[in-house]
Amino acid sequence: MDTSKISKKWITIGILVLVVLIIYSSIRGSYNTLVTLEEAVEGQWAQVENVYQRRADLIPNLVNVVRGFAAHERETLEGVVEARSRATSVNIDPTNLTPEALQQFDQAQQGLSSALSRLMVVVERYPDIKANQNFLELQTQLEGTENRIANERRIFIELTRDYNTSIRRFPRNIYASMFGFERKPTFEARPGSELPPVIEF
C-alpha cells in the first residue's frame, strides 16, 4: 500500500476535522454570546418594570396625603388614580417584547407622569401640603424613583442596542437567523429624554 496515499488521506481527514471544529467553535461562541446578550436585555427589562412599579406603589400614599388637605380637588386626584391603574395594567413578557407592546407601556407611563405633574400644580396652591412631613418623605422617594427610572431606561436602551448590533454583524447574523434571534424594540427617544423627568414639588 502506498504510504503517500495514506498520508494524504489522513491529512485530508485532519483538515476536515479541523474545519468542523472551527465552525462548531464559531457557532457555539456566537450562540452563547447572543444568549447572554438577550438575557441581559430581558433582565434589564425586569429592572425597568421594577422601578416603574415602585413609582406606582408610592402614588396611593401621595394621593391620600393630598386628599387630606385638598379633598375638593377630586378630578385631579381621580385622574392620577386612573392613570396609575392604566399604567399598572400594561405588563409585558420580556421574552416577547414587541414594538407595539413597548409603545403601549411607554404611553401608559407617560400618562401617569402627566397626571402626576397636574397633581403637583394643585399642590402648589396648598402650602400646608408642602410642609407636611409625610408629603416631604414621599417627595424625596418619588424624586429618587424618577432618577432610577431614567437610569434603568438608559441601561435598557444601551443593552438593547448592543444586542441588536450583535445580531446584525457578520457572521453572527447568520447564526442569529438560524437560531431565531430577532431584533428587540427599545424606547423611542423623546426630546429631553437624556434628562431625568422633573416632578416639581
Contact in structure between 106 and 187 (CB atoms under 8 Å): yes
Residue 114, C-alpha cell as written in the block: 402627566
User: For residue 152, what is the enclosing H or E element?
Assistant: helix 133-168
HEC profile for 35-51? HHHHHHHHHHHHHHHHH
User: For residue 82, what is the enclosing H or E element?
Assistant: helix 74-89
Contact in structure between 18 and 156 (CB atoms under 8 Å): no
Q: Check residue 4 and give its pLDDT.
A: 78
Contact in structure between 189 and 161 (CB atoms under 8 Å): no
Q: Check residue 9 and give its pLDDT.
A: 87
CATH fold, domain 3-179, is de novo design (two linked rop proteins) (1.20.1440)
H helices present in 70-132, as ranges: 74-89, 99-124, 127-131
Residues in the chain predicted with pLDDT less than 50, given as ranges, are 193-194, 197, 199-201
Q: How far apart are CA 13 and CA 104, in angstroms?
A: 57
Q: Check residue 190 and give its pLDDT.
A: 58
> pLDDT digits over 138-152, tens only?
999 999 999 999 999
> pLDDT digits over 93-145, tens only?
888 889 999 999 999 999 999 999 999 999 988 999 988 999 999 999 999 99
Q: Look at the chain and count its residues.
A: 201
Q: Phi and psi for 2 in degrees, rounded to 5?
A: -75, 120
